Each structure stands twice: as C-alpha cells, then as structure tokens.
Structure 1
Amino acid sequence: MTSAWFGGGTSRGSGADLDAARSAIDGAAQALLDLDTRQGYVDDALRTAREFADPMSTDDLQRQWRTITEKCFAASAAYLDATAKFPLVDSMGRDNRVLDVGAARRAFLDAHRAMADASTAVDSFYRAHRERIDAAARAAAAVPSQIAAARRAANKVVEQAGEVGSANPALLDLRTVTGSLDALTAALATLEAATHPRAQQTAALAVTEAAERLSAALDDAPRLAERARSAVPSVRTRLQALDTRLERLPVAQSALWREFNQASSADLAQHHHRAEHLLTEARSTLTDAERAIGDGDPESAHDAIDAARRLAHQVDGLIDDVTHRLERLRAIRDDPGQAEAKVRFSIRDAQRLVVDRGLAGEWGSVLDAQTARVDRAVAALQGVHPDYWALVRELDAVHDFVRDVVERVRQSARQGGAGPGGR
C-alpha cells in the first residue's frame, strides 16, 4: 500500500532520503564553488595577459578559453536547474515530502560530475599555458612597485635640481636642463592619468627614464663651459691645418688641368672656391663659440663648436676630392692594365660562380656584356690627353655591377632561384 501511494516504488522525501539528497546537493554546491574559484582565477589572469601583451598574441588563448567557459556555464546551469527543479523544502520552509529523492540525487550528482569535468578542463588549460599566464600575473603584480620607484626617482631628481640651483641658478636655465625637466613633468602627468596596468607600467618606465635624463643633464651642467673652452683650441688647430692644405690645393688642381683631359676634373673646378668659403664660415663660427663662452652660454658655444667641426669636415672632403682624383688618375695613367685586369678577374670569377650554380643560362649573357663594356672603355683611351676619368668611372661601374650579380646569385641559391630580371 505504501509503495503504491508514493508512486509505484518511486522514493519520496522521508527524512533519511532527504539526507541522501542533501549530501548530493552539498557535494554539487562545493563543486560549484570550486569551479567558480578556478574559473575566476584564470579569467582574471587572461584579462591581465591581454592588457600586458599585444591582443593578437593572446587571441589563441582567448579562443580556447571561450570553449572551456561555455563548458563551465553549462555545468553551472545544470546545478541551478537541479536546484530549481528539486527543492528540499516546500513553500512553507518544511521538508519537501513529495520530492522525488532519487531523481533529485541523480540530477545533483550529474551536475557535480559536469562541474568536476569543467574544473578539470580549467586545470588542463592553466597547466598548458601557465608560463604565459603567470608571467602576465607577475607583470601586473610588479606595477605598483614600479610606480612607486618611478615617483621616488622623480622626487630624488627634483631635490638634485634644487641643490644645483642653489649653487648656480643659471644652470637651471640651460636648454638641456629645462627640456629634461619638461619631459619629466609630462611623464608624471601621463602616469597620474594612466588607469590600466599596462599603461601604468609604460608611464612608470617613462618617468624613470626622464628622471635619469634630467639627472644626467644636471650632472653635466657645471662641466659644459669647461668642455667648450677645452674644445676651442683643438678646433682652431684643425682649421689652421686645413688652411695649410687649402693653400696647396691650387697646385693639385693645376696638375689635373695640365696632365689630364679637362673632362677628368671638370666637376672639381669650384672645389677650391667652395672650400675657401666654408673655411671662412668655420672660422666665424668658432669665433661665435668663443663669444658664447664669454657670455656664459656654454650650450650655444657647444652648438657653434659642433657646427665648426661639420664645416671643417666638408672642407676636408673637398680637398680630398681633388688630391685623391689626381692620385688615382696618375695611377691609372701609369698602369691602366692593372685596374683593367682587376675588373676582368672579377668578371671571370662571377662567370665561374654562375656556371657552378647552374645559372649560366640566366646570368651568362649579362656577365658577357660586362666584358664588352670593359673592352669599349679601354678602346676609348685615345689622343694626347685620353679621358682616364671616363675609364675609371666605367671600370668602377662594371666592378660594382658584377659584385651585385654575385650577391644576387648567392641570394637566389639560398632562396630557390631568381633570374636577372630587368638587368
């Protein structure tokens, strides 16, 4: 009679039966809490990883994690559905005597298993990507200390600026100091405005670097004037040496005009005039540097000294153009065969290379054409004053071209082949 009354053998909510259901519910509830803890940790870690890395570099993690979170959601939903479907108490707060205890127990055990499986999936994901996830977590954990260190560095350098200003207020007006101070102020403002950990980390680094630059500028400030004074004599000596070289330049230019075809040095005709002009400008600039030192403006003095050095370098180049041209023309006039032989050897060497690499069909005619160029250049040496400079330029051009061919052949061998294209 009792079995028929309770549904043909279906277990209903007696006290002992409810205890069994409660045990299943408690186990499922604990599994839910455990799953939520694990999932929450990885969720937070992945969010941090995305903030501390290029989002594209974490897309693969995010895709894998979405699949697992869907599994977690389904398991949690199974628990919540079981809770709604199988309440242990009725609306009056009394034991639910009509509860299908067997079905309830099975539902909660199934939910428990689903959540355990989801927890296992979370653990497996974490173990597979632990290095990347934990690295991001460590980076995030380090941000507060990085911010604190940046602020300490800023405070320290501000104190340093105060000490320098007390000793010599004019030093704080130097461009290197004011520029570095402005950069530090801007970096601090950016740090204060930053809210995301990655932005805070970047801003803290910028503050630290700006503080280091300002500290270096403050350290250097008292020595700027002395360095400028020390540099002036060496620059003056260099300008005097250039003046001596320039005095001899007309002799070299005269030899070019006298010994060689006019076309061999036409591009150098104004070099003496240009060098004189630049040397005069360099002397004037050095005078400006000395004046700036006397006015207590070491930065302007350094700017002028640097400008004088650049001008001196240009004068050097102009003089070298003439003297080196004369030396090279005399060398090829005295032994034109030597330069010719060097270029022909490079052509033959390249020809052997393309044959060895099985690329003669692609490059053979190209290299043969270079031999013809050399033949024509040598044959053009005619008259009382042959154009040796034309020969030099053509031999240089062939040599450079052949060198490029050799490099391309070697490159094609490494990459699987590339022909001469438009050569």
Structure 2
Amino acid sequence: MKSHASGHGSGTGGSAVRRFLSLALLPLPLLALAAVTLPAAFSGGGNRRWFGGRGEGQRAEAQAAKDAAAAAFYELDSAQRDLRISIETITAVDDSPPARGAVSGFTDLSARIDEVSHQYIAAVDAHDLDRDDLEASTASRARAELTQARDALNKVKDDLDRFTQGLGPLLDKAETQLARLAPAVERARQSLLAASNALDATRAAGLRADDLAARLAALAPELTRLNQGAGRHGVPETLQRAEHVARDAEAVRAEAERLPERAAETDRRLVSLRTRAQALTTRAEQVEPILSELRRRFTIACWQDLQQVPEQAAATVRQAEAKLAEAQAARDAQRWPDATSLLSTVRALLNSTDEAVSAAGNRLQRLNAVAKDPQDEIDRTRFAIRDAQRLAMADRHTPDPRHARPLDESVRRLELAIATLEGRHPDYWHFLSELEAVRQAVATVVSRIREERGTTA
C-alpha cells in the first residue's frame, strides 16, 4: 500500500513538475491563455472556455460580419417593401405591357430576395456567437458564411435599386392618376349636388324640367359605382366615370339655371314673331297695288316673276301662324327643345315672306329710278370697268389677256344693255340685271388680279 502510495505520490509530483516545466516553456500569449484555463483543468475538466487574444478577435470579427449582414438584410427588406408599394401603385392604374413587365420583373426579384434571405437566416441560425465554448475555427467559419450572405444581400439590393429606377416613368404616370382620383371623384359628387340644387330651384319657380330631372336620375347608378371605389372598378375606369359624371351633371346644372331665362326668352320670341306675322299680313296686302302699277307702266318681263308673291306670302304667313300655335303649346307643356325648334321654323318662314314682299316694292322703286334716269347705273358700271382696267395695266405695258378679255367683254355687254333702252318700251329690269351682272364679272377680274399679285391694295 506504502510503496503503492509512494509510487503514487512520486508519480503525482512528477506530473506536477512536467506541467510546471511545460508552462514555463510556453510563449507568453499562450501562457496567459493557459493561466486562464488552468482553474478549469484543476477543477476536474468539463467544457473548455477561451477568452482574449486571437480567439476573441475571431469572435468579434464574426459578430461584426453578423451585424453587417443584418443591416444588409433589413435594408433589402425595407427596399423590397417600398418597391412592392410602387408595383401595387402601378398595377392599380396601368395594365399596359410595360406595367405587366414590371410585375414580372418584381416577381423574379422577390424570388431572388427570398433565396438570399434564406441563406442569411441559415447562416445566423447555424452559429451561436454568444456561446462560451465557441471555437476559433467555428467563429472564422461563421464570419465567412455571414460575409457571403451579406454580399449576396447587397448584390440583390443593387439589382433592386436599378430595377426601381427603371420604374420611374411608370410610377410617375401612376402617381399622377392616383393624385387625380380623389379630386375627380369629389368634383363629380359636388357637380351632382349643384345640379340637384339648381333643379330644385327651377321647380320652385314653377318649371317642371322633367327632361333635366330624367338626365340627372340617369347619373345615379354612376354615383353608386363611384362610391364603390377604384378598388372594385379600377383607377382608370373610375377616373373616366368621375369625369363623365361631373361633365353631365354640370350640363344639367347649367341648363337648370338657364331655364327661367329660357322660358322668358321663349315668351318674348312668341310675342315678337306673332307681331311680325301680323305686320307681314298687312304688308302682303300691299303687294297687289304695287303689281298693278308695275303691270301698267312696265313690260311683262319687269314684273312677271312677282305675280305669285301675294298668294305665296299669304300662304306662308298662315303656315307661320300655325307653327306659332304649335310653339305656344310646346311652351305651355314646357317642351323647350320643341318650342325652340318651332320658333326657328316660324322665323325662317317669315324671313322668306319678308324678302318676297320687299322684292315687289324694291322692284318698283328701282324701275322708277332707272326709267327716270338710267345714267347713274351706266356711270357706276363704267367706273367699275375703268377701275379694273387701270389695275390690269398697273406696272405693265400690255394687259394680261386673261384679264383683258373679260374686261373687253364687259364693255361690250354694257353697250348692248344701253342700246336696249332706245326702244319704245324698254325692258328696264333686263337693263338693271345686265348691268349688275357686268359689275359682278368685273369684280371677279379685280379679285383675280389682286390674288395673283398677292396684294389687296
């Protein structure tokens, strides 16, 4: 037992000496590390702890790589969220091929983001950098994997930034439309309200405005669709619908506000046209005495085309009066478009009658003047011809045949017309008509010359 005990004691002492000598021979850093780990060794073994020196540097580098990868991950995640919002903005208003291409590109990018994100998460989960027993080699491997994950995250982030920049035109267009959406819908609602208020005021004035009420009621389904929102019907369609509703409601409002004045104007026109029809009836009755004088004093060619004026005037006035009665009925029924159309017809009928009745009186007046002294008409025509001839010769030694021929023909026609006055019963109306035609022909030549010379002088 003793020798066993001695042997045991000497063996123990030898081990202690070897351990002391080995410690004495260690390099200083490792000596310090050993000094730290000795208590654990003497306490009976167990998990080995290490701190300080190169191992602590590896842990710090791994932790720095982890922090950098985390920053890259969160930066990429934030950029992806922003990009998703941009894509949703674009798709809300645009279904064009470029917009569909943007959605496809975002889908591909999202798949790559998921891939590098899983790589990063796997690297983080694989290494607990806070463990007391973390090996230097494990820390070095963690740093490498986390650095690789960070680089992958940054590369995808760069690609995402370039993709986002390329969406600029699409996004600007989409944001512009979205910015227009809320104001457009609000304008439509306000226009409908204004139209409804104007319609109420019109009815309060005793005007039914049934057609306007029907047009306003037809916009009710459109308002319902507007209230359902762009999420259901799409931004472009909602914008178009809002503009349509605002435009139609504004038209109803404007017409409703004008309706009292329209009614008053219709009443004024009815009175005015009725008075005019009565006056034309009186004037038409005076055509027959004028025709009698024309028949008595002038040849048949001077008045034959006026023979039917009294009868036609009376018939046209009767037709106008019938239309006036229809217009009055339409006004009483508040059928404003019908009343307006009928009044326009009445005015056209009375205008034509007025011209026919006036033609008889004007004919007699002109024939009396030319029969008394035709020289005024002759002088007017000769002056027109001479003025055109001077223009044709301006800055020229000889006139252009294209201008000279019609002017010479005008002189010939004038002389022939003057010759017709030498008979016993001259056709003064032919004379007047011929001289008017000559002056018109001369005016045509003058216009052509000025056009060719580029001047209106």
**Interval containing the TM-score (normalised by the shorter chain):** 0.5 to 0.7
Aligned pair partner of 2:323 in 268, 285, 297: 285
Q: What residue identity is the alignment partner of 1:340?
A: I
Q: What residue identity is the alignment partner of 1:354?
A: A
Question: Paired residues, what number?
Answer: 290
* Aligned-residue offset at 1:153: 4.8
Aligned pair partner of 2:408 in 368, 382, 388: 368
Aligned residues of 2:192 and 2:250 also touching (Cα < 8 A): no
Change (3 A) 1:153 1:376: farther
Return the index of the structure with the highest Cα Rg.
2
Separation in 1 of the partners of 2:314 and 2:342? 19
Aligned pair partner of 1:219 in 234, 248, 257: 257
* Aligned-residue offset at 1:165: 7.8
* Aligned-residue offset at 1:267: 1.8
SS state at 1:378 partner: helix
Aligned residues of 1:183 and 1:210 also touching (Cα < 8 A): no
- Uncovered stretches (5+) of structure 2, i.e. residues with no partner: 1-89, 91-143, 148-172
Change (3 A) 1:351 1:219: same
Separation in 2 of the partners of 1:187 and 1:318? 54
Separation in 2 of the partners of 1:289 and 1:397? 42
Change (3 A) 1:151 1:356: same
Change (3 A) 1:292 1:372: same
Change (3 A) 1:316 1:183: farther
Q: What residue identity is the alignment partner of 2:362?
A: H
1:80-95 counterparts in 2 under 5 A? none
1:172-251 counterparts in 2 under 5 A? 172-174=209-211, 177=212, 181=216, 208-251=246-289
Residue 383 of structure 1 corresponds to which residue in structure 2?
A: 423
Aligned residues of 1:261 and 1:385 also touching (Cα < 8 A): yes
Separation in 1 of the partners of 2:177 and 2:346? 51
Separation in 1 of the partners of 2:454 and 2:431? 35
Change (3 A) 1:296 1:403: closer
TM-score by length of 1: 0.55
Aligned pair partner of 2:392 in 322, 344, 354: 354
Aligned pair partner of 1:393 in 433, 438, 446: 433
Residues 1:171 and 2:208 aligned together: yes
Q: What residue identity is the alignment partner of 1:325?
A: R
Separation in 2 of the partners of 1:369 and 1:151? 69
Change (3 A) 1:369 1:157: same
Q: What residue identity is the alignment partner of 2:188?
A: R
User: How well do the aligned residues superpose, as a CA RMSD in angstroms?
Assistant: 4.6
Aligned residues of 2:178 and 2:235 also touching (Cα < 8 A): no
Percent identity of the aligned residues? 30
Change (3 A) 1:348 1:224: closer
Separation in 2 of the partners of 1:335 and 1:225? 53
* Aligned-residue offset at 1:248: 1.0
Residues 1:272 and 2:303 aligned together: no
TM-score by length of 2: 0.52
Q: What residue identity is the alignment partner of 2:399?
A: A
SS state at 2:208 partner: helix
Aligned pair partner of 1:254 in 263, 279, 292: 292
Residues 1:335 and 2:373 aligned together: yes
Aligned residues of 2:273 and 2:347 also touching (Cα < 8 A): yes
* Aligned-residue offset at 1:257: 1.7
Residue 191 of structure 2 corresponds to which residue in structure 1?
A: 154
